[in-house]
Structure 1
Amino acid sequence: MPGPPPARPGQDSPKSSLAWSALQLSSVVVIARATTANAREQGEGSMTVLDSAPVGTTTPPASVCAVLEQQRHGRPVGRDRYTISEVAGCTGLSVHTLRWYERIGLMPHVDRSHTGQRRYTDRDLDWLDLVGRLRLTGMPVADMVRYARLVREGAHTMAEREELLAAHREDVRKRIAELRSTLEVLDYKIDIYSDARRRAEAAEGA
């Protein structure tokens, strides 16, 4: 398995705050649950976060719909074909990274124009959003590639997909707990410094 592409100045745009990380870690738990449940109902190997469900499938929770609506907000209206440069612009991923994803099997087959240029669809962008969330939670590239392969292989991999996502969900929950604990420590230290500053200001004004 090839390693990740070398980091380049300005490449990709990960958020680094603890609060943002905790929010994204929480959302990937929701996304992972929805992906597994929806896949079980559909029995299809479609590579997207949440496809149209058949009649009788449980309606996805509002939180999942909100995440999907947010991720699609920045896309051009009335279009479903994007160049690799446009995808790089709306996802924050570099062109180099997008091509690497294809090389290692993390992206499904991307359509090409008659001139051979890549043409991404909304389904491709939905998949990239899920990959980005899994990446943010620290899922190893090898596991993400394995998950992508299982999705492509179809319904007979449902149990294996569920097991993989369930195991990762436990890791995510542990990381959320660690981040919350760290945030409490930071809050405590900030309160100490704030109290000391206020006392010093009060003493100067006395």
Structure 2
Amino acid sequence: MAEEPSPTPESWEQIVARFARFSGVVGEVDDPLTWGLDLVEEEVTGGADSADPTEERFLRSYRTFAGETVEVETLRVPATAAQVEDIVRAACSGALVAPLHADVDPAASPDTTDVTDLAESYRDYRSAMRAIVAEVDDVPCESREFRVDGEARRCMRVTVRDVTAVYSPAADRGVVVTGPTDLVDRVDVVTRPIRNLLHGEEGPRF
């Protein structure tokens, strides 16, 4: 059976155009080194022509020295009230699924709280993923305050296995912050114009 052709990589012009659609402010962790965070990824995800415009997001992904991940996603348009819960649950599920891998131990006990060990509680990646999504769906979302730009805003959040996902309004957009609960509760999230954080001073200006 012939292999499927690899998708055509985006041209530099297409990448710049995707970033340009986010002209204005986007979310980031203020002074990430204060929290032991290192910026490791900065990209636009999702499709611009989707029926759901909240799918297109500006992502900043940070990693702690211990290998934990904190992500700040800026939605190009704010989510509607009907979309927020699905967005928060999907973000939490995604964060929990990320460490899973296909090589799992079917003999391991499912009564474990460690996210990485959780993968070894199931026979394959898909069953583990389904179990995580079901677990996230069973946990009630909370309406609480979250600070963006130093201002407390009403937000929606869900926490499962010490991983929290938060949706909060921000400027004329929305931000989704996901990561270990203790970090999500402490980091300072701010909105600023897109800067060349990963491209260097000689890189393109967005």
Q: TM-score range by the shorter chain?
A: under 0.3
More helix by share: 1
Question: Higher relative contact order at CA 8 Å, sep ≥6: structure 1 or structure 2?
Answer: 1
TM-score by length of 1: 0.25
Q: Which has the higher strand share?
A: 2
Bigger Rg over Cα: 1
